[in-house]
């Protein structure tokens, strides 16, 4: 008897996109996405948040533990640090659209008490989730995309992307058939992972410096 192929085996979110691309329609459709196996263990889809007229879009890697529980992007410790850095750089967090390259939390279980430990998504998983990010870009049409970390950069710019080679500089690339201006920097979670206060301070100041370039580009 033939085995029925599950939708997630195709590794693409394309069939789940709504006909009409609006943020509310996209958010409703993404809630039932089974475009890759990550939906099986995640609590819920964590779609982007913010105004459709936002001038800047910030793209991270994937939701974390708190985001997965609350259903909103960047509400955990990294999100709070990002908000502080944005304000210091002269960007109002309320005026930004924030999202992730992958919309479901990927994790491993660890003791004690089966703590959920973040696990980086694969390029295949990021590619599967790509239609959601492409749709968000098409609706919001930001003046500038701020790429937060290596995974977001690879999702948008390809597997050869390296944060260290591109950070802090304004880039112009064609993304999903549309010319985009981008600025790459580190993911705020990398600041939190710094080994000591001195390293953390330097990492945070570097993040703020990159975001100031974004603020100046927006004028």
- Mean pLDDT across the stretch 154-167? 93
According to DSSP, the β-strands at 107-110 and 96-100 are unpaired
Largest CA distance in the chain: 63
CA-wise closest residue to 59 among 176, 149, 147? 147
Predicted TM-score (pTM) of the model is: 0.95
For residue 3 the two structure tokens come to: 């085995």
Q: Residues 49-92: pLDDT tens digits?
A: 999 999 999 999 999 999 999 999 999 999 999 999 999 999 99
- Mean pLDDT across the stretch 18-40? 97
For residue 18 the two structure tokens come to: 């709504």
Rounded alpha-carbon distances, angstroms, from residue 109 to 141, 178, 194: 38, 39, 23
Percentage of residues in the chain having pLDDT higher than 70? 97
For the chain, domains (ranges, CATH) are 20-218 (3.40.470.10)
List all residues 6 or more positions away from 54 whose beta carbon is below 8 Å from its beta carbon: 95, 96, 97, 140, 142
């Amino acid at each position: 008897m033939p085995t029925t192929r599950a939708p997630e085996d195709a590794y693409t979110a394309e069939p789940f996109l709504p006909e009409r691309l609006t943020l509310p329609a996209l958010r409703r459709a993404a809630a039932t996405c089974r475009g890759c196996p990550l939906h099986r263990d995640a609590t819920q889809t964590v779609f982007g948040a913010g105004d459709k007229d936002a001038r800047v879009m910030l793209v991270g890697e994937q939701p974390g533990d708190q985001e997965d529980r609350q259903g909103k992007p960047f509400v955990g410790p990294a999100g709070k640090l990002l908000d502080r850095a944005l304000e210091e750089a002269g960007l109002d967090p309320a005026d930004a659209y924030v999202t992730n390259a992958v919309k479901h939390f990927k994790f491993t279980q660890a003791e004690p008490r089966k703590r959920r430990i973040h696990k980086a998504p694969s390029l295949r998983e990021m590619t599967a989730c790509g239609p959601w990010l492409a749709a968000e870009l098409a609706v919001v049409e930001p003046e500038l995309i701020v790429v937060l970390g290596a995974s977001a950069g690879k999702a948008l710019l390809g597997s050869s992307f390296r944060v260290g080679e591109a950070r802090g500089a304004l880039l112009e690339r064609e993304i999903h058939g549309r010319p985009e201006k981008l600025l790459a920097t580190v993911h705020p979670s990398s600041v939190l992972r710094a080994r000591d206060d001195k390293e953390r301070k330097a990492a945070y100041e570097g993040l703020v410096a990159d975001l100031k370039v974004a603020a100046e580009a927006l004028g």
